[in-house]
Structure 1
Amino acid sequence: MCAVTNARLHLVLMLALTFTTGIIDAVGYLGLDRVFTANMTGNVVILGMALAGGDDLPVAGPLIALAGFMLGAAIGGRVLRRAAPGWTHLSTTTFGATGVLSVLLGVAAMVEPPHEGEVWGFVVTALLSIAMGLQAAAARRIAVKDVTTVVVTSTLTGLAADSRLAGGTGENWARRALAVVLILAGAGVGALLLQAGGEAGVGIGMLVAGVLALVVATVGHWRREPVAV
Protein backbone atom coordinates (compact mmCIF):
# COMPACT_ATOMS: atom_id res chain seq x y z
CA MET A 1 0.00 0.00 0.00
CA CYS A 2 1.44 3.40 -0.91
CA ALA A 3 2.25 6.01 1.71
CA VAL A 4 -0.51 8.36 0.52
CA THR A 5 -3.15 5.65 0.84
CA ASN A 6 -1.87 4.75 4.31
CA ALA A 7 -2.03 8.38 5.40
CA ARG A 8 -5.62 8.73 4.18
CA LEU A 9 -6.66 5.52 5.91
CA HIS A 10 -5.08 6.61 9.18
CA LEU A 11 -6.83 9.97 8.90
CA VAL A 12 -10.22 8.30 8.45
CA LEU A 13 -9.60 5.93 11.36
CA MET A 14 -8.48 8.71 13.70
CA LEU A 15 -11.52 10.79 12.72
CA ALA A 16 -13.72 7.81 13.57
CA LEU A 17 -12.11 7.62 17.01
CA THR A 18 -12.70 11.35 17.43
CA PHE A 19 -16.40 10.64 16.96
CA THR A 20 -16.30 7.93 19.63
CA THR A 21 -14.54 10.35 21.99
CA GLY A 22 -17.53 12.67 21.70
CA ILE A 23 -19.81 9.82 22.75
CA ILE A 24 -17.58 8.83 25.67
CA ASP A 25 -17.23 12.36 27.03
CA ALA A 26 -20.95 13.05 26.70
CA VAL A 27 -21.98 9.98 28.68
CA GLY A 28 -19.20 10.65 31.19
CA TYR A 29 -20.11 14.27 31.78
CA LEU A 30 -23.86 13.75 31.81
CA GLY A 31 -23.94 10.33 33.46
CA LEU A 32 -20.86 10.22 35.72
CA ASP A 33 -21.16 13.42 37.77
CA ARG A 34 -19.72 15.92 35.28
CA VAL A 35 -16.50 14.08 34.58
CA PHE A 36 -14.62 14.02 31.27
CA THR A 37 -12.81 10.75 30.66
CA ALA A 38 -11.05 11.90 27.47
CA ASN A 39 -10.83 15.70 27.59
CA MET A 40 -8.46 16.35 30.48
CA THR A 41 -8.56 20.14 30.00
CA GLY A 42 -12.18 20.06 31.07
CA ASN A 43 -11.32 18.08 34.21
CA VAL A 44 -8.53 20.46 35.18
CA VAL A 45 -10.87 23.45 34.83
CA ILE A 46 -13.66 21.74 36.81
CA LEU A 47 -11.19 20.71 39.51
CA GLY A 48 -9.75 24.22 39.75
CA MET A 49 -13.22 25.76 40.16
CA ALA A 50 -14.21 23.10 42.69
CA LEU A 51 -11.08 23.67 44.79
CA ALA A 52 -11.78 27.41 44.71
CA GLY A 53 -15.18 26.78 46.27
CA GLY A 54 -17.39 26.49 43.19
CA ASP A 55 -20.87 25.36 44.14
CA ASP A 56 -21.66 21.66 43.81
CA LEU A 57 -18.68 20.83 41.62
CA PRO A 58 -17.07 17.37 41.83
CA VAL A 59 -13.51 16.82 43.05
CA ALA A 60 -13.06 13.06 43.33
CA GLY A 61 -14.32 12.26 39.81
CA PRO A 62 -12.00 14.66 37.95
CA LEU A 63 -9.03 13.57 40.08
CA ILE A 64 -9.72 9.91 39.35
CA ALA A 65 -10.14 10.65 35.65
CA LEU A 66 -6.86 12.58 35.49
CA ALA A 67 -4.97 9.80 37.26
CA GLY A 68 -6.56 7.09 35.11
CA PHE A 69 -5.89 8.94 31.85
CA MET A 70 -2.24 9.52 32.73
CA LEU A 71 -1.84 5.88 33.72
CA GLY A 72 -3.38 4.73 30.45
CA ALA A 73 -1.22 7.10 28.43
CA ALA A 74 1.89 5.95 30.29
CA ILE A 75 1.05 2.29 29.62
CA GLY A 76 0.38 3.07 25.96
CA GLY A 77 3.61 5.02 25.65
CA ARG A 78 5.62 2.19 27.17
CA VAL A 79 4.00 -0.45 24.95
CA LEU A 80 4.57 1.58 21.80
CA ARG A 81 8.00 2.97 22.71
CA ARG A 82 9.95 0.65 20.43
CA ALA A 83 7.27 0.15 17.78
CA ALA A 84 8.10 0.99 14.18
CA PRO A 85 6.54 4.13 12.65
CA GLY A 86 3.02 3.74 11.31
CA TRP A 87 0.43 1.15 12.26
CA THR A 88 1.92 -2.00 13.80
CA HIS A 89 0.51 -4.97 15.67
CA LEU A 90 1.18 -2.99 18.86
CA SER A 91 -1.08 -0.21 17.55
CA THR A 92 -3.79 -2.81 17.00
CA THR A 93 -3.28 -4.15 20.52
CA THR A 94 -3.50 -0.69 22.11
CA PHE A 95 -6.54 0.50 20.15
CA GLY A 96 -8.11 -2.92 20.64
CA ALA A 97 -7.60 -2.67 24.40
CA THR A 98 -9.46 0.65 24.37
CA GLY A 99 -12.35 -0.96 22.53
CA VAL A 100 -12.47 -4.05 24.73
CA LEU A 101 -12.41 -1.98 27.93
CA SER A 102 -15.20 0.26 26.65
CA VAL A 103 -17.34 -2.70 25.57
CA LEU A 104 -16.88 -4.56 28.86
CA LEU A 105 -17.60 -1.42 30.88
CA GLY A 106 -20.63 -0.74 28.71
CA VAL A 107 -22.10 -4.18 29.30
CA ALA A 108 -21.33 -4.00 33.03
CA ALA A 109 -22.88 -0.53 33.29
CA MET A 110 -26.03 -1.71 31.55
CA VAL A 111 -26.37 -4.52 34.10
CA GLU A 112 -25.45 -2.28 37.06
CA PRO A 113 -25.83 1.41 36.15
CA PRO A 114 -23.23 3.67 37.84
CA HIS A 115 -24.49 6.51 40.01
CA GLU A 116 -22.92 9.75 41.18
CA GLY A 117 -20.75 9.46 44.26
CA GLU A 118 -20.84 5.66 44.42
CA VAL A 119 -17.80 3.39 44.32
CA TRP A 120 -18.95 1.68 41.11
CA GLY A 121 -19.25 5.05 39.40
CA PHE A 122 -15.67 5.90 40.36
CA VAL A 123 -14.47 2.49 39.11
CA VAL A 124 -16.14 3.09 35.75
CA THR A 125 -14.59 6.57 35.57
CA ALA A 126 -11.11 5.21 36.35
CA LEU A 127 -11.21 2.33 33.87
CA LEU A 128 -12.76 4.41 31.09
CA SER A 129 -10.12 7.10 31.61
CA ILE A 130 -7.38 4.45 31.35
CA ALA A 131 -8.92 3.31 28.06
CA MET A 132 -8.94 6.84 26.69
CA GLY A 133 -5.35 7.39 27.81
CA LEU A 134 -4.37 4.28 25.87
CA GLN A 135 -6.20 5.60 22.81
CA ALA A 136 -4.54 9.01 23.05
CA ALA A 137 -1.07 7.46 23.30
CA ALA A 138 -1.70 5.17 20.33
CA ALA A 139 -3.12 8.03 18.24
CA ARG A 140 -0.08 10.14 19.11
CA ARG A 141 2.13 7.36 17.75
CA ILE A 142 0.14 7.20 14.49
CA ALA A 143 0.69 10.98 14.35
CA VAL A 144 -2.08 12.14 12.03
CA LYS A 145 -1.62 15.91 11.93
CA ASP A 146 -4.35 17.91 13.66
CA VAL A 147 -6.29 14.81 14.80
CA THR A 148 -5.43 13.71 18.34
CA THR A 149 -8.82 11.92 18.78
CA VAL A 150 -9.32 13.32 22.30
CA VAL A 151 -9.22 17.15 22.03
CA VAL A 152 -9.98 19.76 19.38
CA THR A 153 -8.66 22.99 20.95
CA SER A 154 -5.38 22.82 19.02
CA THR A 155 -7.35 21.76 15.94
CA LEU A 156 -9.58 24.83 16.20
CA THR A 157 -6.51 27.03 16.72
CA GLY A 158 -4.89 25.67 13.57
CA LEU A 159 -8.13 26.00 11.61
CA ALA A 160 -8.44 29.69 12.50
CA ALA A 161 -4.76 30.69 12.55
CA ASP A 162 -3.97 29.08 9.19
CA SER A 163 -7.18 30.21 7.48
CA ARG A 164 -7.23 32.58 4.53
CA LEU A 165 -8.97 35.10 6.78
CA ALA A 166 -5.81 35.10 8.94
CA GLY A 167 -3.59 35.41 5.88
CA GLY A 168 -2.71 31.71 5.72
CA THR A 169 -3.20 29.07 3.07
CA GLY A 170 -6.05 27.20 4.71
CA GLU A 171 -3.94 24.04 4.76
CA ASN A 172 -5.69 20.95 6.15
CA TRP A 173 -8.88 22.91 6.79
CA ALA A 174 -11.08 19.96 5.80
CA ARG A 175 -9.62 17.47 8.30
CA ARG A 176 -9.63 20.09 11.03
CA ALA A 177 -13.24 20.98 10.41
CA LEU A 178 -14.20 17.31 10.24
CA ALA A 179 -12.52 16.60 13.58
CA VAL A 180 -14.53 19.38 15.23
CA VAL A 181 -17.79 18.32 13.57
CA LEU A 182 -17.27 14.65 14.46
CA ILE A 183 -16.55 15.23 18.14
CA LEU A 184 -19.60 17.51 18.20
CA ALA A 185 -21.72 14.86 16.50
CA GLY A 186 -20.39 12.18 18.84
CA ALA A 187 -21.35 14.26 21.87
CA GLY A 188 -24.82 14.71 20.43
CA VAL A 189 -25.16 10.98 19.84
CA GLY A 190 -23.95 10.27 23.37
CA ALA A 191 -26.53 12.63 24.84
CA LEU A 192 -29.29 11.03 22.75
CA LEU A 193 -28.24 7.55 23.86
CA LEU A 194 -28.47 8.70 27.49
CA GLN A 195 -31.94 10.10 26.92
CA ALA A 196 -33.17 7.01 25.09
CA GLY A 197 -31.49 4.47 27.37
CA GLY A 198 -32.44 5.90 30.73
CA GLU A 199 -30.35 4.34 33.49
CA ALA A 200 -28.71 2.04 30.96
CA GLY A 201 -27.75 5.00 28.76
CA VAL A 202 -24.21 5.33 30.13
CA GLY A 203 -23.57 1.68 29.39
CA ILE A 204 -25.11 1.87 25.93
CA GLY A 205 -22.92 4.86 25.06
CA MET A 206 -19.75 3.09 26.16
CA LEU A 207 -20.80 -0.07 24.32
CA VAL A 208 -21.40 1.80 21.05
CA ALA A 209 -18.10 3.68 21.35
CA GLY A 210 -16.24 0.49 22.21
CA VAL A 211 -17.63 -1.42 19.24
CA LEU A 212 -16.62 1.42 16.90
CA ALA A 213 -13.12 1.45 18.43
CA LEU A 214 -12.82 -2.30 17.80
CA VAL A 215 -13.87 -1.76 14.18
CA VAL A 216 -11.13 0.87 13.84
CA ALA A 217 -8.56 -1.49 15.38
CA THR A 218 -9.61 -4.31 13.05
CA VAL A 219 -9.52 -2.22 9.87
CA GLY A 220 -6.19 -0.67 10.84
CA HIS A 221 -4.74 -4.13 11.48
CA TRP A 222 -5.95 -5.56 8.18
CA ARG A 223 -4.63 -2.62 6.19
CA ARG A 224 -1.42 -2.00 8.10
CA GLU A 225 1.91 -1.66 6.34
CA PRO A 226 3.75 -4.94 5.69
CA VAL A 227 6.67 -5.58 8.01
CA ALA A 228 10.04 -5.58 6.24
CA VAL A 229 11.98 -8.84 6.51
Structure 2
Amino acid sequence: MPVMTSSRETCPDSCPLKQGGCYAMTGPLKLHWDQVTSGARGSDLDEALKPIRKLNRGAIWRYGQAGDLPGERDNIDREGILKIAKASKGKRAIIFTHKPPSLENLAIIREAAAEGLNINMSADSIDKADELADLELPVAVVLHSEYGRKKDESLSDYRRRVKRLANYTPKGRKIAVCPATYTDVSCTQCGVCADGDRKGVIVGFPAHGTKKKRVDEIAGHAGEREPDKRG
Protein backbone atom coordinates (compact mmCIF):
# COMPACT_ATOMS: atom_id res chain seq x y z
CA MET A 1 0.00 0.00 0.00
CA PRO A 2 1.45 3.43 -0.92
CA VAL A 3 2.24 5.48 2.18
CA MET A 4 3.10 9.15 2.70
CA THR A 5 4.85 10.75 5.67
CA SER A 6 4.66 14.40 6.66
CA SER A 7 7.06 16.38 8.85
CA ARG A 8 6.82 16.95 12.59
CA GLU A 9 5.87 20.59 11.99
CA THR A 10 2.42 19.40 10.91
CA CYS A 11 1.72 17.83 14.32
CA PRO A 12 -0.58 19.95 16.51
CA ASP A 13 0.59 21.11 19.91
CA SER A 14 -2.79 20.01 21.27
CA CYS A 15 -2.00 16.33 20.65
CA PRO A 16 -1.17 14.71 24.04
CA LEU A 17 0.88 12.00 22.30
CA LYS A 18 3.30 14.68 21.16
CA GLN A 19 4.74 14.77 24.69
CA GLY A 20 5.31 11.00 24.65
CA GLY A 21 3.46 7.93 23.47
CA CYS A 22 3.39 8.51 19.71
CA TYR A 23 4.36 5.30 17.92
CA ALA A 24 6.31 7.31 15.32
CA MET A 25 8.81 8.47 17.97
CA THR A 26 10.57 5.11 18.17
CA GLY A 27 12.13 2.52 15.91
CA PRO A 28 12.77 2.64 12.15
CA LEU A 29 9.81 4.96 11.54
CA LYS A 30 11.42 7.60 13.78
CA LEU A 31 14.59 7.45 11.70
CA HIS A 32 12.58 7.95 8.51
CA TRP A 33 10.48 10.70 10.11
CA ASP A 34 13.63 12.52 11.23
CA GLN A 35 14.88 12.55 7.64
CA VAL A 36 11.56 13.82 6.27
CA THR A 37 11.36 16.54 8.93
CA SER A 38 14.92 17.75 8.29
CA GLY A 39 14.31 17.86 4.54
CA ALA A 40 17.00 15.25 3.86
CA ARG A 41 14.37 12.90 2.46
CA GLY A 42 11.18 13.52 0.51
CA SER A 43 9.83 16.41 -1.53
CA ASP A 44 7.14 19.05 -1.56
CA LEU A 45 3.47 18.02 -1.53
CA ASP A 46 2.94 18.43 -5.28
CA GLU A 47 5.82 16.11 -6.10
CA ALA A 48 4.85 13.61 -3.40
CA LEU A 49 1.32 13.33 -4.78
CA LYS A 50 2.41 12.39 -8.31
CA PRO A 51 2.45 8.62 -7.59
CA ILE A 52 -0.97 8.91 -5.89
CA ARG A 53 -2.47 10.45 -9.02
CA LYS A 54 -1.26 7.44 -11.01
CA LEU A 55 -2.93 4.85 -8.77
CA ASN A 56 -5.73 2.78 -10.26
CA ARG A 57 -9.30 3.77 -9.49
CA GLY A 58 -10.39 2.23 -6.20
CA ALA A 59 -6.80 1.77 -4.97
CA ILE A 60 -6.23 2.33 -1.26
CA TRP A 61 -3.38 4.38 0.17
CA ARG A 62 -2.28 5.90 3.47
CA TYR A 63 -1.51 9.53 4.13
CA GLY A 64 0.44 10.49 7.25
CA GLN A 65 1.88 7.31 8.75
CA ALA A 66 3.77 9.92 10.78
CA GLY A 67 2.92 13.60 10.96
CA ASP A 68 -0.46 15.19 10.35
CA LEU A 69 -2.43 17.08 7.73
CA PRO A 70 -0.76 19.91 5.79
CA GLY A 71 -0.46 23.05 7.87
CA GLU A 72 1.78 23.95 10.80
CA ARG A 73 0.81 22.95 14.34
CA ASP A 74 -2.93 23.29 15.05
CA ASN A 75 -3.91 24.76 11.69
CA ILE A 76 -4.94 22.92 8.52
CA ASP A 77 -3.73 24.25 5.18
CA ARG A 78 -6.83 24.29 2.97
CA GLU A 79 -4.86 24.44 -0.28
CA GLY A 80 -2.81 21.41 0.74
CA ILE A 81 -5.86 19.37 1.70
CA LEU A 82 -7.61 20.14 -1.57
CA LYS A 83 -4.49 19.07 -3.46
CA ILE A 84 -4.65 15.73 -1.68
CA ALA A 85 -8.36 15.42 -2.39
CA LYS A 86 -7.81 16.09 -6.08
CA ALA A 87 -4.93 13.62 -6.36
CA SER A 88 -6.95 10.98 -4.52
CA LYS A 89 -10.08 11.37 -6.64
CA GLY A 90 -11.48 7.90 -7.33
CA LYS A 91 -9.09 6.28 -4.83
CA ARG A 92 -9.54 5.44 -1.15
CA ALA A 93 -7.34 7.27 1.32
CA ILE A 94 -6.76 6.34 4.95
CA ILE A 95 -6.14 9.59 6.83
CA PHE A 96 -6.22 10.54 10.51
CA THR A 97 -5.80 13.90 12.17
CA HIS A 98 -5.17 15.17 15.67
CA LYS A 99 -5.68 18.76 14.54
CA PRO A 100 -8.19 20.44 16.90
CA PRO A 101 -11.80 20.76 15.68
CA SER A 102 -11.80 24.55 15.31
CA LEU A 103 -14.44 26.09 13.07
CA GLU A 104 -11.82 26.74 10.38
CA ASN A 105 -10.41 23.21 10.51
CA LEU A 106 -13.85 21.60 10.48
CA ALA A 107 -14.88 23.62 7.45
CA ILE A 108 -11.82 22.37 5.55
CA ILE A 109 -12.35 18.75 6.64
CA ARG A 110 -15.98 18.88 5.50
CA GLU A 111 -14.99 20.48 2.22
CA ALA A 112 -12.53 17.63 1.65
CA ALA A 113 -15.24 15.08 2.50
CA ALA A 114 -17.48 16.63 -0.14
CA GLU A 115 -14.64 15.95 -2.60
CA GLY A 116 -14.47 12.31 -1.52
CA LEU A 117 -11.54 12.59 0.91
CA ASN A 118 -12.68 11.21 4.28
CA ILE A 119 -10.54 12.31 7.22
CA ASN A 120 -10.77 10.48 10.55
CA MET A 121 -10.80 12.63 13.66
CA SER A 122 -8.40 11.06 16.18
CA ALA A 123 -9.61 10.77 19.78
CA ASP A 124 -7.41 9.95 22.76
CA SER A 125 -10.14 8.45 24.94
CA ILE A 126 -13.57 6.91 24.55
CA ASP A 127 -15.22 10.00 26.06
CA LYS A 128 -13.38 12.25 23.61
CA ALA A 129 -14.47 9.95 20.78
CA ASP A 130 -18.10 10.75 21.59
CA GLU A 131 -17.38 14.49 21.48
CA LEU A 132 -15.80 14.21 18.03
CA ALA A 133 -18.48 11.84 16.73
CA ASP A 134 -21.09 14.45 17.67
CA LEU A 135 -19.56 16.52 14.85
CA GLU A 136 -20.83 13.83 12.43
CA LEU A 137 -17.38 13.01 11.11
CA PRO A 138 -15.62 9.60 11.10
CA VAL A 139 -13.71 8.95 14.32
CA ALA A 140 -10.88 6.68 15.41
CA VAL A 141 -9.87 6.28 19.05
CA VAL A 142 -6.81 5.18 21.00
CA LEU A 143 -7.74 2.33 23.34
CA HIS A 144 -6.13 0.98 26.49
CA SER A 145 -3.61 -1.78 25.78
CA GLU A 146 -6.00 -4.30 27.36
CA TYR A 147 -7.89 -4.21 24.07
CA GLY A 148 -4.81 -5.56 22.31
CA ARG A 149 -4.05 -9.22 21.70
CA LYS A 150 -1.34 -10.43 24.06
CA LYS A 151 1.73 -12.35 22.98
CA ASP A 152 0.95 -16.07 22.56
CA GLU A 153 -2.76 -15.42 23.23
CA SER A 154 -5.00 -17.49 20.95
CA LEU A 155 -7.57 -15.64 18.86
CA SER A 156 -10.45 -17.37 20.66
CA ASP A 157 -9.01 -16.49 24.09
CA TYR A 158 -8.48 -12.90 22.97
CA ARG A 159 -12.06 -12.57 21.76
CA ARG A 160 -13.44 -14.01 25.00
CA ARG A 161 -11.35 -11.62 27.06
CA VAL A 162 -12.17 -8.50 25.04
CA LYS A 163 -15.89 -9.28 25.22
CA ARG A 164 -15.67 -8.32 28.89
CA LEU A 165 -14.38 -4.84 28.04
CA ALA A 166 -16.49 -1.82 27.15
CA ASN A 167 -17.48 -2.04 23.50
CA TYR A 168 -19.75 1.01 23.36
CA THR A 169 -19.07 4.65 24.14
CA PRO A 170 -21.06 6.37 26.91
CA LYS A 171 -23.42 7.67 24.21
CA GLY A 172 -23.98 4.20 22.77
CA ARG A 173 -21.71 4.23 19.75
CA LYS A 174 -20.14 0.89 18.79
CA ILE A 175 -16.35 0.55 19.21
CA ALA A 176 -14.77 -1.81 16.67
CA VAL A 177 -11.17 -2.79 17.39
CA CYS A 178 -9.06 -2.60 14.23
CA PRO A 179 -8.80 -6.20 12.93
CA ALA A 180 -5.23 -5.63 11.76
CA THR A 181 -4.21 -5.36 15.43
CA TYR A 182 -5.29 -8.90 16.33
CA THR A 183 -5.52 -10.88 13.05
CA ASP A 184 -3.62 -11.14 9.77
CA VAL A 185 -6.09 -8.80 8.03
CA SER A 186 -4.31 -5.90 6.34
CA CYS A 187 -5.47 -2.33 5.77
CA THR A 188 -5.84 -3.03 2.06
CA GLN A 189 -8.14 -5.96 2.81
CA CYS A 190 -10.24 -4.04 5.34
CA GLY A 191 -10.25 -0.41 4.25
CA VAL A 192 -12.92 0.67 6.74
CA CYS A 193 -10.89 3.70 7.84
CA ALA A 194 -11.12 5.07 4.29
CA ASP A 195 -14.92 5.18 4.48
CA GLY A 196 -16.77 8.27 5.58
CA ASP A 197 -20.09 6.70 6.53
CA ARG A 198 -19.57 4.02 9.19
CA LYS A 199 -23.04 4.37 10.73
CA GLY A 200 -21.54 5.80 13.90
CA VAL A 201 -19.04 2.97 14.45
CA ILE A 202 -15.75 4.17 15.98
CA VAL A 203 -12.57 2.32 15.05
CA GLY A 204 -10.31 1.61 18.02
CA PHE A 205 -6.53 1.12 18.07
CA PRO A 206 -5.11 -0.50 21.23
CA ALA A 207 -1.98 1.04 22.72
CA HIS A 208 1.10 -0.97 21.79
CA GLY A 209 4.87 -0.81 21.57
CA THR A 210 7.44 0.60 23.97
CA LYS A 211 5.31 3.64 24.85
CA LYS A 212 2.05 1.84 25.59
CA LYS A 213 2.10 2.65 29.33
CA ARG A 214 2.13 6.35 28.52
CA VAL A 215 -0.69 5.86 25.99
CA ASP A 216 -2.68 3.89 28.59
CA GLU A 217 -2.48 6.90 30.91
CA ILE A 218 -3.96 9.09 28.17
CA ALA A 219 -6.61 6.62 26.98
CA GLY A 220 -7.80 5.76 30.48
CA HIS A 221 -8.82 2.39 31.92
CA ALA A 222 -10.40 -0.15 29.58
CA GLY A 223 -13.50 -0.50 31.74
CA GLU A 224 -16.00 -3.33 31.95
CA ARG A 225 -18.56 -4.02 29.29
CA GLU A 226 -22.03 -2.67 29.97
CA PRO A 227 -25.25 -4.15 28.60
CA ASP A 228 -26.36 -2.85 25.21
CA LYS A 229 -28.83 -0.09 26.10
CA ARG A 230 -30.28 0.20 22.61
CA GLY A 231 -32.89 -2.49 23.26
TM over 0.5: no
Greater share of helix: 1
Whichever structure has more strand as a proportion of its residues is 2
TM-score, scaled to structure 1: 0.30
